[in-house]
Amino acid sequence: MNKKSMLRLAAPAVVASGVFGASLRLFDYAFKRVDYVPETSADKQKYADAYYRYVAWYRQQPKETWQLHADDPANHLIAHYIPAAKPSLKTVVISHGYKGNGETMANYAQLFYELGFNVLLPDDRGHGKSAGDYITFGWIDRIDYLDWLNQILAKTGPNTQIVLFGASMGGATVEMMSGEKLPHQVKALIADSGYSSIEAELTYLLKKQFHLPKYPFVPLVSLINKRRLGYYLNAVQSTTQLRKNHLPFFFIHGDHDVFVPHSMAFRNYDATQGPRELWIVKGATHVESFWLDPERYRRHVTAFLTKYLTTND
């Protein structure tokens, strides 16, 4: 066999090896934990001073550190609980975004605290103080949050009213939780900028950020995820979970979101089976709706919750 023939025979294997290697790098880039919070996008730097004022408020609040699986280092999870200023039977669970942690949700924590809520802020798997080598994009996290709900009930009693709130990946986490058997104390859910599925989100970002097609990269990343975390990416569907939901749901999304396109908000809104509201915020980029006008954001959230929570504490 001459050299040219050998190269022709080897070429498909070389290409396949290169594609799989690229898929491994994509998986690590997107799914592997990082032990820092990445800088915010340039268009949100103008909110930095306001953000750090919320963080300063958060750090000054008396907190309890809660744990899950304390005796299992690979699954040891951490959350911080801020009790309301006055004894309260209202508690919000706030789910953070991609590569964030509970502290990065300080602005939302203060909003709910000022509305009289106890506030629980978990660090998801692969984030913050919690264990985990990989980010699960809400899928395994949704089960962890059921355990956090049990801790809330043990702390505040059976008459508590619970709200689930999340932004970006946290919004999708709340959407995925909605399809689980939730305790009856969960009264309402709010998702800001949540994606409809991780496969759709990954496909969108591959094209937008890397100019790469869905095939063969997304199926290969999904296969890698199956080997590492035990499930294919097509299982991670907000819309599938929302079709099992009958609780009140408020969707918030900016119409200038180029990270999670606001078309996904319409898919999520159409999927849910319970009472639902959708607020498309004009001019808002990804998770910018709060920052554009915090008071307007508070009014919308308050108006929604007033319909489904009682005021007796």
Q: Is the pLDDT of residue 39 over 50?
A: yes
Calpha distance 113→122 (Å, rounded): 16
Which single residue is written with the structure tokens 């991609």?
98
Question: Is 85 part of any domain?
Answer: yes
Question: Is 311 part of any domain?
Answer: no
- Over residues 12-38, the mean pLDDT reads 81
Q: Is the pLDDT of residue 283 over 50?
A: yes
Q: Return the structure tokens found at 191.
A: 């998702």
Question: Is 245 part of any domain?
Answer: yes
pLDDT of residue 6: 35
User: By mean pLDDT, which of 11-20, 60-69, 248-257, 284-293 is the weakest?
Assistant: 11-20
Question: Is 179 part of any domain?
Answer: yes
Q: Where residue 17 falls among pLDDT bands split at 50, 70, 90? A: low
Q: Is the pLDDT of residue 2 over 80?
A: no
User: By three-state DSSP, how is residue 156 classified?
Assistant: helix
What's the mean pLDDT when you consider all of the chain?
93
pLDDT of residue 10: 34
Write the CATH number for 79: 3.40.50.1820
Calpha distance 96→75 (Å, rounded): 18
Q: Is the pLDDT of residue 52 over 90?
A: yes
pLDDT of residue 311: 78
Q: Is the pLDDT of residue 194 over 70?
A: yes
119 and 94 in contact (C-beta within 8 Å)? yes
- Over residues 187-198, the mean pLDDT reads 98
Percent of the chain exceeding pLDDT 90 equals 89
Q: Is the pLDDT of residue 13 over 60?
A: no
Number of domains within the chain: 1
Calpha distance 102→141 (Å, rounded): 14
pLDDT of residue 3: 42
Q: Where residue 41 falls among pLDDT bands split at 50, 70, 90? A: confident
Question: Is 7 part of any domain?
Answer: no
Question: Is 286 part of any domain?
Answer: yes
Domain ranges, residue 140 = 48-202+233-306
Q: Where residue 304 falls among pLDDT bands split at 50, 70, 90? A: very high
144 and 77 in contact (C-beta within 8 Å)? yes
Q: Where residue 9 falls among pLDDT bands split at 50, 70, 90? A: very low
pLDDT of residue 190: 99
Q: Is the pLDDT of residue 199 over 70?
A: yes
Question: Is 117 part of any domain?
Answer: yes
Sign of the dihedral through C-alpha 204, 210, 215, 219: negative
Question: Is 217 part of any domain?
Answer: no
pLDDT tens by residue, 133-163: 999 999 999 999 999 999 999 999 999 999 9
Residue 150: CB atoms within 10 A of its CB come to 12
